[in-house]
Structure 1
């Protein structure tokens, strides 16, 4: 069984978050994407400290589907350098993890 991952990506607004979440699930790069509003990010970018209101995407995927997920985000995200972080899932409900695997398998 391929490893399961949880990925984090921030979006500048709800429209981008919705479009990315829809694309990731429709294209089977993620089984599920949670959209979390109301996030404030503080970060240094090009020598300046920035503060932005953002939306966080939490996507459940597999190591096998990750490459497609990353490519999809890079293709659709408006930021020059979007946040894309993948965290391994060490354990979880077996049925849920199986479902993640099934939903990220490309079917003909």
Structure 2
């Protein structure tokens, strides 16, 4: 009966029948980082130019407030400010950090951003590639 089956089919049959718990657990831990949910966050900050974004990004990484800052150029923002509708070209920073460091990150951005009121919003990372999440944690330590 097993002669006509491919090796992958035999392995699939074996794992579906016997499900060795140590192997299943090992593969489950490799598939997603949901066990680390809410430990890490992505923060978003709009800036007037990519140059301002580079300055902020370098400062955030240098000060260990972010593991990585992506600069997404040419974002159009439409918003109301002081009773007027505005439309501006901006860049968007996508910042990977620890959730516990978002307040410190926000203070850094507020102190170094050219806007009167700058956008800093964050969302928890609910799931992700475990080695990448680990890398964030290695680069952004929890403050004491």
Q: Scaled by the length of structure 1, what TM-score is found?
A: 0.93
Match of 1:58 in 2: 94
Matched, 1:40 2:79: no
Report the structure number with the largest CA radius of gyration.
2
Of 50-59 and 97-106, deviating more is 97-106
**Structure 1: runs of 5+ lacking an equivalent:** none
Higher helix fraction: Structure 1 or Structure 2?
2
The CA deviation string for residues 37-77 of structure 1, in whole angstroms up to 9 with x for no partner, is 01000000111000000010000001122122111100100
Query: Residue 52 of structure 2: which of 16, 21, 43 is its match?
Result: 16
The one of the two structures with greater contact order (alpha-carbon pairs below 8 A, sep at least 6) is 1
Q: Which runs of 4+ in 1 moved over 6 A?
A: none
Gaps of 5+ in 2: 1-35
- Considering fraction of residues, name the structure with more strand: 1
Q: Distance in 1 between matches of 2:114 and 2:105?
A: 15
